[in-house]
């Protein structure tokens, strides 16, 4: 039997890689994690989840957005908000989180190697460290290299005025007018954040209905409030060219002949997996056109000892699900007991207002011919929402009219991603809508929305 230096080599130290490595270490396995220089914590920590969500908090605070229902639309904590103001908070949080990741890996005895990694054969990996190439071998390998923004030859990125999501915080100033190409999760998050800064945003997407996995009523609510804040939507429109016109404006030329202009453009159409420079062919692997690695329900690739998790395997490409995928992959490769219900993974979309969901949508239930009833609570009915100035919120419960079991929970509004977990727990336990009717919630809270929605739903019966 072959002897390997490590029981597990993890390529990539983002959420999937971290959790896989720590899970294996707790199973008393010898583990090494490799990542590029200055990328400990992965794209999630450096350019994705952590910076963008911190940016959102900085914008909400400095713009005084949540207080405008009390103090008027012109209210803000700081009159002229700069990129430096926003970046200050982001850099502080990122710096602390890097130390948390480093400490967790060290505490669990995980060896961290810095440098680009490439396969020499299915068990052997070369790491280009600062001191030269280092060859390591692993009985098992987990690929968790994440993704980067996909690029398009028609969009000439310059990193200053025409940028992708990784470059969003490197622009010298906040534009007064911005074109956002791509209305996926990232595009909608950045677009809604910038409308809170009174930036005039035009959002373009060639799909007539982006984010089809989100409940239609929740999306309609988001679009309504973004429009109120000045956003313009151009769905079903394709960008064919981006140029600078004679007035030094960025112009997006659409297939329909329209010309959309602004001071800057943010390109957020798709992500490309970081597998193209790893020589995965030497490991017997084949990626798709976006560099993603196909895996089974245990995150195992076509090569049985090689697994993949996180954004590199595709949808849903969320930090929370990546963490669980990494843990499940580790458990499977080492035969540890583990259970998972991917259908109950929650989604959090950090737009303004925030969106979160778990379980089935109305569209899914209709397509699957499953009868359902629903109950709704509007935040305007909640005392707590009045206190914090949230006029946009909505919580919807979908349930079986016969068994009354919860089928789906959908929330838009302040702290949506937090309070969703109450509904997630009841759904996971097979609970009914009567649970919310019969439970006492602290008052005043946003969580009280579950009781209001339950009563609304039960009244319909």
Domains 6-149+272-342 and 162-269 share a fold: yes
Q: Tell me: domain 6-149+272-342, CATH 3.40.630.10, correct?
A: no
Give CA–CA dist 122/136, Å, rounded: 12
Give CA–CA dist 426/447, Å, rounded: 13
The CB density around residue 314, as the number of other CB atoms within 10 Å, is 17
For position 237, what pLDDT does the model report?
97
Please provide the CATH number assigned to the domain covering 162-269: 3.50.50.60
pTM comes to 0.93
* Domain chopping of the chain, boundaries: 6-149+272-342, 162-269, 353-460
Q: What are the 10-residue block averages of pLDDT along the chain, 461 residues in total? A: 88 97 97 94 92 93 83 77 89 95 96 96 95 95 96 90 88 91 96 94 96 95 94 97 94 96 95 94 95 96 97 93 96 93 93 97 97 97 93 94 98 97 97 97 97 98 92
Please state the CATH superfamily assignment of the domain spanning residues 353-460 in this structure: FAD/NAD-linked reductase, C-terminal dimerisation domain (3.30.390.30)
Sign for the CA dihedral angle at 400, 405, 406, 407 comes to negative
Give CA–CA dist 75/120, Å, rounded: 59
């Amino acid at each position: 039997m072959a002897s390997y230096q490590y029981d597990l080599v993890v390529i990539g130290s983002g959420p999937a890689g971290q959790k896989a490595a720590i899970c294996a270490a707790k199973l008393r396995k010898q583990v090494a994690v490799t990542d590029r220089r200055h990328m400990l914590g992965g794209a999630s920590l450096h350019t994705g989840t952590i910076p963008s969500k911190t940016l959102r908090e900085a914008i909400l605070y400095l713009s005084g957005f949540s207080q405008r229902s009390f103090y008027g639309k012109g209210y803000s904590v700081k009159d002229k908000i700069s990129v430096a103001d926003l970046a200050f908070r982001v850099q502080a949080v990122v710096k602390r989180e890097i130390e948390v990741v480093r400490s967790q890996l060290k505490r669990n005895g995980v060896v961290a190697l810095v440098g680009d990694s490439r396969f020499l054969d299915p068990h052997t990996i070369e790491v280009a460290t600062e001191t030269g190439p280092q060859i390591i071998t692993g009985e098992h390998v987990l690929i968790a290299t994440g993704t980067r923004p996909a690029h398009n030859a028609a969009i000439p990125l310059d990193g200053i005025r025409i940028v992708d999501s990784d470059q969003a915080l490197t622009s010298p100033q906040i534009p007064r007018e911005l074109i956002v190409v791509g209305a996926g999760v990232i595009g909608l998050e950045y677009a809604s954040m910038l409308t809170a800064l009174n930036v005039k945003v035009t959002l373009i997407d060639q799909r007539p209905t982006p984010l089809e996995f989100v409940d239609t009523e929740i999306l309609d609510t988001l679009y309504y409030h973004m429009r109120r804040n000045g956003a313009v939507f151009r769905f079903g429109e394709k960008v064919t060219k981006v140029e600078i016109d004679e007035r030094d404006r960025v112009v997006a030329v659409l297939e329909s002949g329209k010309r959309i202009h602004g001071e800057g453009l943010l390109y957020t159409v798709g992500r490309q997996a970081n597998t193209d420079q790893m020589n995965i062919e030497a490991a017997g692997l084949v990626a798709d056109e976006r560099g993603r690695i196909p895996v089974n329900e245990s995150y195992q690739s076509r090569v049985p000892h090689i697994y993949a998790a996180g954004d590199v395997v595709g949808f849903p490409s969320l930090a929370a699900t990546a963490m669980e995928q990494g843990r499940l992959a580790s458990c499977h490769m080492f035969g540890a007991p583990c259970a998972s219900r991917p259908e109950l993974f929650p989604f959090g979309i950090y737009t303004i207002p925030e969106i979160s969901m778990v379980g089935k949508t109305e569209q899914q239930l209709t397509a699957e011919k499953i009868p359902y009833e629903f109950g709704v609570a509007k935040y305007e009915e909640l005392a707590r929402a009045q206190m914090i100035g949230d006029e946009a919120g909505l919580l919807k419960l979908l349930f079986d009219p016969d068994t009354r079991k919860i089928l789906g929970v959908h929330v838009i509004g302040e702290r949506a991603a937090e309070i969703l977990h109450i509904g997630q727990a009841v759904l996971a336990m097979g609970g009914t809508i009567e649970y919310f009717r019969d439970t006492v919630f602290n008052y005043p809270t946003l969580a009280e929305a579950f009781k209001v929605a339950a009563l609304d739903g039960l009244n319909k019966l």
